[in-house]
Amino acid sequence: MSRFQSLCEKRFHLAQNQTNLHTEVLAGLTTFATMSYVLATIPNMLSNAGLPKGAVLTALILLVMSCSIAMAVYTNRPFCLAPGMSSVAILSAVDTTGMTAEVAFGVIFIEGVIFVLISFIGLRRIVVNAIPTSVKISISAGIGLFIALIGLKSGGIIITSDNDTLVLGDLTTSTALLFVIGFVVLLFLEARNFRGSMIVSILIVTLLGIPLGVTAVPERMFLMPASVRPVMLRIDIAGALNVKYFPWLFAFFVPDFFGTMGIMLGIGNRASWLDENGNMPDIEKCFKVDSLSTVAGSLFCMPVMTTYLESVSGVEDGGRTGLTSIVTSVLFGLMLLFTPLALMIPSVATGPVLAYIGMQMLGSMKNINYEDKTEYIPAFMAVAMTIFTNSIATGLSLSVISYVFLKLAAGRAKEIHVAMYGLCIFLIYYLTTLL
């Protein structure tokens, strides 16, 4: 055994976790392939918030590396972190929320601090029990539709008419044609269970966009990464403390906290880490890294940093330790040398990926109890009103308020956690600010 192998064994306990160096490296490559689409999608989406793509890309890579390595070293789990797509969607449409980008990142900072306190104090179980399942599920589904709409708009498939209604766009344009091609390729590869289908779709659309004049080819393929200075400390914490932004705090927190928990437990189940009660040993360690990553990311204009579901691809390939995350992080780091290639990717190339991700997020709605009006009506409100009002916060607010009202009307007040009453009052006040 080589010295490097011995070091890896000593640090990550490969044999104890029934894996080896070769398996961990391949698992890291797989995770990178399935996560690499973030290099294109996130800078493109955040550019809509007025953030420079180059600086965003550099900050993104550095944070993916540092947070994933921290997860690997502290927990020895094959989890990788990146900005959650739900929070990226909110930030990409920040001009419609009434917030500045600085205030939005202030909200994310506060959300991260709350997550940190919950993680370190051990209040996870209380928070989990306070928010009803139907609300948690439907919020994610509503954000999914929001993400899908962003993707469809980027390809000109859906456009806003003169009277502010959504209509079908001109499908004969080059942009629309590229979107359709990318979406068909993505669906075909997904149907074939091809790992890395998203990045393949992005690359095909990007290349086809060159002769069509949609993709701008950079003068140089290799370039020093852009400075992160333009996105450093662009944060307004004081402004974020305004009570009118409370629903947005909730909108960031719920997908971050519960999404992270669901992903970790789901991956843990695939890796056979769960105990007889369905709990994963040392999951609190993972929460601590996840929450601190969100706080750190907000200081560099990064949306909520969270454990990525794509980490499961590495687990499926045999990855069982933090070494998998280390390999993935190194590969992301190498992309700093090829930033012009990542920045040349047009928004239409990432549109099909966003649409597909949004569609996947709707899958959670199958867990709603459609036999119970007090459960499925609030879920409907979250999904429908998010799209109808073009506001995630409004959809969330109406979901919570309707849940409390219907439970009280049905004489089932015992099913309402006491914290929901206070939340309901805050959200009613928020809605009055919109009048």
The predicted-structure confidence for 162-207, as pLDDT tens digits, reads as follows 777 888 998 999 999 999 999 999 999 999 988 678 888 888 999 9
What are the φ/ψ torsions at residue 212 (nearest 5 degrees)?
A: -85, 0
pLDDT number for residue 277: 64
In 3D space, the residue among 31, 60, 9, 2 whose CA is nearest the CA of residue 343 turns out to be: 60
Q: Is the model's pLDDT at 307 over the cut of 70?
A: yes
pLDDT band of 125, cuts 50, 70, 90: low
- Number of C-beta neighbours around residue 181 at 10 A: 17
Angle at 253 between CA 369 and CA 43, to 5 degrees: 110
Q: Is the model's pLDDT at 83 over the cut of 70?
A: yes
In 3D space, the residue among 385, 404, 387 whose CA is nearest the CA of residue 395 turns out to be: 385
Q: How far apart are CA 367 and CA 38, in angstroms?
A: 28
Helix (H) or strand (E) holding 83, with range, is strand 81-83
Kindly provide the residue ranges of all beta strands, DSSP E only, lying in 124-278, ordered along the sequence.
Answer: 158-160, 166-168
Identify which has the larger pLDDT, 408 or 345: 408
Q: Is the model's pLDDT at 406 over the cut of 90?
A: yes
Radius of gyration of the chain from Cα atoms? 22
Helix (H) or strand (E) holding 284, with range, is helix 283-298
Q: Is the model's pLDDT at 137 over the cut of 90?
A: no
Q: How far apart are CA 127 and CA 48, in angstroms?
A: 33
Q: How far apart are CA 11 and CA 27, in angstroms?
A: 18
Q: Is the model's pLDDT at 426 over the cut of 90?
A: no
What average pLDDT does the segment 127-144 reach?
77
Query: Do 152 and 176 form a contact (C-beta atoms < 8 A)?
Result: no
Q: How far apart are CA 179 and CA 252, in angstroms?
A: 29
Query: Do 150 and 172 form a contact (C-beta atoms < 8 A)?
Result: no
Q: Is the model's pLDDT at 217 over the cut of 80?
A: yes
Place of tokens 């991260």: 112
Angle at 429 between CA 423 and CA 435, to 5 degrees: 145
Q: What is the mean pLDDT of the chain?
A: 87
Place of tokens 């091609």: 181
Q: Is the model's pLDDT at 343 over the cut of 80?
A: no
Q: Is the model's pLDDT at 113 over the cut of 90?
A: yes
pLDDT number for residue 278: 64
In 3D space, the residue among 330, 298, 320, 331 whose CA is nearest the CA of residue 75 turns out to be: 320
pLDDT band of 342, cuts 50, 70, 90: confident
Exposure b/e, 17-49, CB count within 10 A at least 16 = b? bebbbebbbbbbbbbbbbbbbbbbbbbbbbbbb
DSSP assigned state of 307: E
Query: Do 24 and 323 form a contact (C-beta atoms < 8 A)?
Result: yes
* 3-state percent helix, strand, coil for the chain, nearest multiple of 5: 70, 5, 30
Q: Is 169 helix (H, G, I), strand (E, B) or coil?
A: coil
Query: Do 328 and 35 form a contact (C-beta atoms < 8 A)?
Result: yes
Quote the pTM value. Answer: 0.76
pLDDT number for residue 329: 96
Dihedral through CA 229, CA 247, CA 259, CA 40, nearest 10? Answer: -40
For 253-302, what is each residue's pLDDT tens digit? 877 777 777 678 778 877 888 777 667 888 889 999 999 999 999 999 99
What average pLDDT does the segment 322-327 reach?
96
Lowest mean pLDDT among 85-94, 241-250, 270-279: 270-279
- Number of C-beta neighbours around residue 413 at 10 A: 11
pLDDT number for residue 349: 87
Q: How far apart are CA 369 and CA 248, in angstroms?
A: 26
Q: Is the model's pLDDT at 387 over the cut of 60?
A: yes
Hey, which residues does 146 pair with through a beta bridge? none
For 26-70, what is each residue's pLDDT tens digit? 888 878 877 888 998 899 889 988 899 999 999 999 999 999 999
**Could you tell me if residue 345 is left (phi over 0), alpha (psi between -120 and 50 degrees) or otherwise beta?**
beta
pLDDT number for residue 412: 94
